[in-house]
Structure 1
Amino acid sequence: MIDEPATAQPDLPDEDTEMYEHFHFKVDPGQELLRIDKYLQYKIANATRTRIQHALEEENIKVNGKSRKANYKVKPGDEISIVFAYPKREIELVPQNIPLTIVYEDEDIIIINKEAGMVVHPGVGNFTGTLMNALVYRFESLPNQKQSDKDPFGELRPGLVHRLDKNTSGLLVVTRNEKSLNKMAKAFFERKVERKYVALVWGDFAEDEITIDAHIGRDLRDRKKMAAFPGGAHGRNAVTHIKVLERFKLVTLVECKLETGRTHQIRVHLQHIGHPVFNDEVYGGDKIARGQVTAKYRQFVENCFALIPRQALHALTLGFAHPSTGKPVHFVSEIPADMQAVLGKWRTRLNP
């Protein structure tokens, strides 16, 4: 006897910034002894034996808190936790010759410095011109890439374990093989990847460092947006650490260190505490939020908005243990020209 197939549901929705899938469930009381690889094939939709085997090899499948081999036999009451690289999407991924800024590459990983305005992967309204289209053109083989129409587990996001918003610039890691894909998915899930962003935000801060701890989920009034839920009534836990880097009285340059990776996390958290990201049109940063609105000041802000026609947010650093060597690697990306130009304007205004 085996409990009903394909009933396990992932703990994480498909809109998270981190691109992995986590399952956690308890084996039914009536379950007979059965090899874990066979059990999971029945239990989870689209969980092929190969996919399960990769997860087992990378110790991404645990039973009662311990890693198990493929020959382990599940029994009633076992608690199983699984981290898979992200599942398929049924749209063809077309290779396109699009310029990319590659900071580093080896046989296992690629570090991209993404420009603002580039969508990371295809989706509704963006089926071409994405980072993924560029990657499959440049690299012949990436993990989970769709190989043929008969491949039911092809990916729209080959090698991807996290992403950046379209109008956020900065560093992104892409994996080049199944081992690295699973290693990095596990690292993100276990919060062993260090990510720091810089953001120009409205307002000044009373303290130099603060931590924002508030759940993030779909906005209850506008499903196209995310919202903060400090009481935890909705959404998933999210933690962002903020450090002041430079003060301009009416706006502030801050460093944002992610502890979790929810959709729009930094932007939502900063809006939640009254400091929306400068020129963030979704979360209220595209209007004057501080200062006396004189004609001269309004023109100054509009000039700044024109210099950076997107949210002033940049993924500055990325650090993790290399998936093959285990040695720590760290990458840094300079603040882009549009953001530098706006910072220059505010510095001049503060100290003419």
Structure 2
Amino acid sequence: MKIILEQDYARLDRFLTERFPEIPRSQWDLWIRSGKVAVKGQAVTKSGTRLRAGDEVETEVPDITPPGLHLLPEDLDLPTLYEDDRIWILDKPAGVVVHPGPGHPTGTVANALLGRLQKEALALQETQAAEDDDEEAAPLWPGLVHRLDRFTTGCLVTAKDAQAQASIQAQFKARTVDKRYLALVRNSRRLPELGSFLIDEPIGRHRLERLKMCITTSGRPAQTRVKVLARVAGLALVECELLTGRTHQIRVHLGHLGAPILGDPLYGGPTRWQDEEKRAILCEHPMLHAWKLSLDHPGSGERVAVMAPLPPPFQTLLERLGIEI
């Protein structure tokens, strides 16, 4: 990857950290000292190398190796929607991270799953590149077959053995897992009054803002079926059916329609709103909820269907708006 600087920077590591904020500065320091970053065609080994506007920086984005060898079982009180000896489907609360990463070494769903198993039944797998970080890609952690963003609530399925994991992952790839989400969005003229419609736009990583995804012709195919359930106070409640599983798919697709999710500023969603009586509505995180999920049981083959109740902040907001589901 080659980058032409548009301004001066006092330090090379600072520039790289700002450009790729998901990579810790300490990781860039190791990457630079290993000679894996070039400036103006020459490898450099000093993190404090000064940069000038017009300089060309060439590097590959380093992988962040997960702390797998240190992943320990944890007894976390996470609500269960369905559980047997093969799978565990939980109702993920807002703020809970699915797998460990920078800033979240513990307290994740992966830790909780190992805590439930109480044994080392599943082998950790190698980290994938960020571009493959999709629900349909191979799992990064034991028992995980798909993900929810940190502040997305609701249905999340995990597997308790390797065979169950492979079975469910195959169902995701075959698109036989039914996933329905509820989202409260800013109303848009591009949302139909009645019925449902399909958003079919490819999604890839944003070229400049590495924490974001975007609509791009170079992205991977992505399809979301959207149905408008209610409209009030300049907002709309929509049901989204994921036909593919790209990173931030619903957030990107709805934002692309001019209907960003309330509480999602990363994709243009407002964090403040007013109800019909002009009373303030504050949202600390996106109003996006994994509402329903169904799949074939990896053992019996029978269909397992669950529904996660709306979390209190989402339910209270809908009641204020007079919306029933």
TM-score of the aligned structures, taking structure 1 as reference length: 0.64
Rounded to whole Å, the distance in 2 between the matches of 1:287 and 1:324 is: 43
Distance 1:340 1:142, change over 3 A: farther
What is the match of residue 324 of structure 1? 299
What is the match of residue 25 of structure 1? none
Q: Given the alignment, which residue of 330, 333, 337 partners 2:312?
A: 337
Task: Confirm or deny that 1:165 pairs with 2:152.
Answer: no
Distance 1:142 1:286, change over 3 A: farther
Rounded to whole Å, the distance in 2 between the matches of 1:175 and 1:216 is: 27
What is the match of residue 124 of structure 1? 102
Rounded to whole Å, the distance in 1 between the matches of 2:112 and 2:234 is: 39
Q: Given the alignment, which residue of 200, 206, 212 partners 2:192?
A: 206
What is the match of residue 237 of structure 2? 253
Q: Deviations over 1:23-45 (max 9, x none)?
A: xxxxxxxxxxxxxxxxxxxxxxx
1:309 CA displacement:
1.4
1:282 CA displacement:
1.2
Distance 1:143 1:202, change over 3 A: farther
1:90 CA displacement:
4.8
Q: Given the alignment, which residue of 273, 276, 300 partners 2:260?
A: 276
Q: Which residues of 2 match residues 53-132 of structure 1 at below 5 A?
A: 89-91=66-68, 92-132=70-110
What is the match of residue 215 of structure 2? 228
> Secondary structure of the residue that 2:72 maps to in structure 1?
coil
Q: Is the 8 A contact 2:113 2:143 kept in 1?
A: no
> Secondary structure of the residue that 1:282 maps to in structure 2?
helix
What is the match of residue 205 of structure 2? 218
1:164 CA displacement:
0.4
Q: Is the 8 A contact 1:143 1:159 kept in 2?
A: no
What is the match of residue 38 of structure 2? none
Q: Given the alignment, which residue of 286, 302, 307 partners 1:311?
A: 286
The count of aligned residue pairs is 243
Rounded to whole Å, the distance in 1 between the matches of 2:140 and 2:210 is: 23
Q: Deviations over 1:296-328 (max 9, x none)?
A: 84xx34xx21xx411000001111111111111
Letter in 2 for 1:235: G
Distance 1:103 1:142, change over 3 A: farther
Distance 1:156 1:215, change over 3 A: closer
Q: Is the 8 A contact 2:182 2:238 kept in 1?
A: yes
Rounded to whole Å, the distance in 1 between the matches of 2:310 and 2:273 is: 23
Rounded to whole Å, the distance in 2 between the matches of 1:210 and 1:179 is: 36
Q: Is the 8 A contact 1:142 1:177 kept in 2?
A: no
Q: Given the alignment, which residue of 174, 198, 202 partners 1:190?
A: 174
What is the match of residue 36 of structure 1? none
Q: Is the 8 A contact 1:203 1:290 kept in 2?
A: no
1:163 CA displacement:
0.9
- Between the two proteins, what is the percent identity of the paired residues? 40
TM-score of the aligned structures, taking structure 2 as reference length: 0.69
Q: Deviations over 1:86-131 (max 9, x none)?
A: xx84532122222111111111111111001100100122111111
Rounded to whole Å, the distance in 1 between the matches of 2:265 and 2:120 is: 35
Distance 1:234 1:246, change over 3 A: same
1:291 CA displacement:
10
Rounded to whole Å, the distance in 2 between the matches of 1:328 and 1:238 is: 25
1:145 CA displacement:
3.7
Rounded to whole Å, the distance in 2 between the matches of 1:269 and 1:198 is: 14
> Secondary structure of the residue that 2:286 maps to in structure 1?
coil
Distance 1:110 1:142, change over 3 A: farther
Farther-moved stretch of structure 1 (159-168 vs 96-105)? 96-105
Cα RMSD (Å): 2.5
Letter in 1 for 2:185: V
1:290 CA displacement:
9.7
Runs of 4+ more than 3 Å apart: 88-91, 287-292
Distance 1:274 1:136, change over 3 A: same
1:275 CA displacement:
0.1
Q: Is the 8 A contact 2:92 2:153 kept in 1?
A: yes
What is the match of residue 19 of structure 1? none
Q: Is the 8 A contact 1:169 1:314 kept in 2?
A: yes
